[in-house]
Chains A and B, each alone.
Chain A
């Protein structure tokens, strides 16, 4: 079936959907920026930037509420069917997921404010690469939403394994490091939780991708291969 959609006979409905897609793009963009900002703050020990990320999360929360209100209103007023209904349900779920991504980014930023910058921990040297992979996942998930691109959504889910693999290897390295240098346990634990947060952000990006797939294809994505996550204790 053709996935591109014509205009509605009722133009105001298209207006609602366009507004909603704009809001999803905005909240997704802000969440991605928050992840990026939190990791840059970590890399440069930039406390101002970390505080900006913490502060910026309020805007993400507000956007989530705005999206939820708009979805409910649109369902009530337009009685959507089929693709439209699925898109609205997906938008509702995605906004909840993105709000979580924002929370994880905020949590990372808060930890930046607490980490003792003098402690250089080589075991965490993979974190920036993990952060890049995670941010790319978030970016792709929202691109998939904007373009109604089911293939890209599938790719996001496949890529999540990379993030999980990063997490597992960072986890092991940090544990080994902390055993060897007990005086680094404070910073090491923060870095461990940061890695865990990134891993959860990756999971949420795949949740977004799964909703995109559902909205576009009308069925849920097949169970896909996962990296063995959840070996390490979670931060949430």
Chain B
């Protein structure tokens, strides 16, 4: 595993070192180390239950919300340990935003969904600036043209694909540095999926992006780096083009060629 880190990256936005996650006595993540930088979208792939979501959640301390979960190891954001006692978790989750599998807009207006984060983080001193943040976020999420005339409609009244882009706009609105997405397209049709994938391309470089996906073609389409997880370990991490044409590890090959289990 060490060779994955050989070029110990000074560019790394986030670094994980020997991360272990326990649910009670059960070790769900067994010593994972990875660097995530701004230039490359990272895809996490692997069979169901291998720990992709668990590991993803360690990156913004979402596991804190699970009472029996315990995290060991080091995770840094710009070199700062996110599990240190001086880290403000609310602030951390604004810097490391998350988009979930099922679109989960608040039962509020489209406008309020996006404005919520900036309001609680005090990012907009007045209404005009808030309006601007909402518009910019919706534009960047590729949703503005579809909703600009109905900002006061309920977010839950949008289609699934629009709701997911609304959730991305909501994550973007607090000006995060990292965006984590856990199967963001699994509830969407191919067109809505293509829009999210296109969006990921556009967001690349501005944010560090990690996406969990079960769809190998999607990982191949949107990511530049791919990490393959299996039974709580990260088996292989490399350039997406290498992983999908010539993986180094037999377990990776068996999984991506459909020979798993």
A residues in contact (CB < 8 Å) with B = 1-2, 5-10, 13, 79-86, 218-219
Contact = CB atoms under 8 A, between A and B. Distances in A.
B246 interface: yes
B127 interface: no
B132 interface: no
Interface of B: 216-217, 244-250, 252-254, 256-261
B245 A218 contact: yes
A82 B257 contact: yes
B148 to A, nearest CB: 37
B130 to A, nearest CB: 44
A83 B257 contact: yes
Contacts of B258: 8-10, 13, 81, 84
Nearest to B220: A81
Given A81-B216, A82-B256, A84-B257, A2 B245 contact: no
A8 B259 contact: yes
By Cβ-Cβ distance, the 9 closest A-B pairs, closest first, are A218-B246, A81-B256, A6-B259, A8-B258, A84-B257, A82-B253, A81-B244, A82-B257, A81-B257
Contacts of B254: 6
B255 to A, nearest CB: 9
Given A9-B261, A79-B216, A219 B246 contact: yes
Given A218-B245, A219-B246, A83 B260 contact: no
A130 to B, nearest CB: 37
**A-side interface mostly:** loop
A5 B252 CA distance: 12
Given A1-B253, A82-B253, 14 more contacts: A2-B250, A6-B259, A8-B257, A9-B258, A9-B259, A79-B216, A79-B217, A81-B258, A82-B244, A82-B252, A83-B257, A84-B257, A218-B245, A219-B246
B259 A5 contact: yes
Nearest to B244: A81
A222 to B, nearest CB: 16
Given A79-B217, A81-B244, A82-B244, A1 B257 contact: no
Nearest to B260: A9
Contacts of A218: 245-246
15 contacts: A1-B249, A1-B253, A80-B257, A81-B216, A81-B244, A81-B257, A81-B258, A82-B246, A82-B247, A82-B257, A83-B253, A83-B257, A86-B246, A218-B245, A219-B246
Contacts of B252: 82
B117 to A, nearest CB: 38
A86 B242 CA distance: 12
Contacts of A82: 244-247, 252-253, 256-257
A107 to B, nearest CB: 36
A79 B258 CA distance: 10
A13 B259 CA distance: 10
A115 to B, nearest CB: 48
Contacts of A5: 257, 259
A80 to B, nearest CB: 7
Nearest to A2: B250
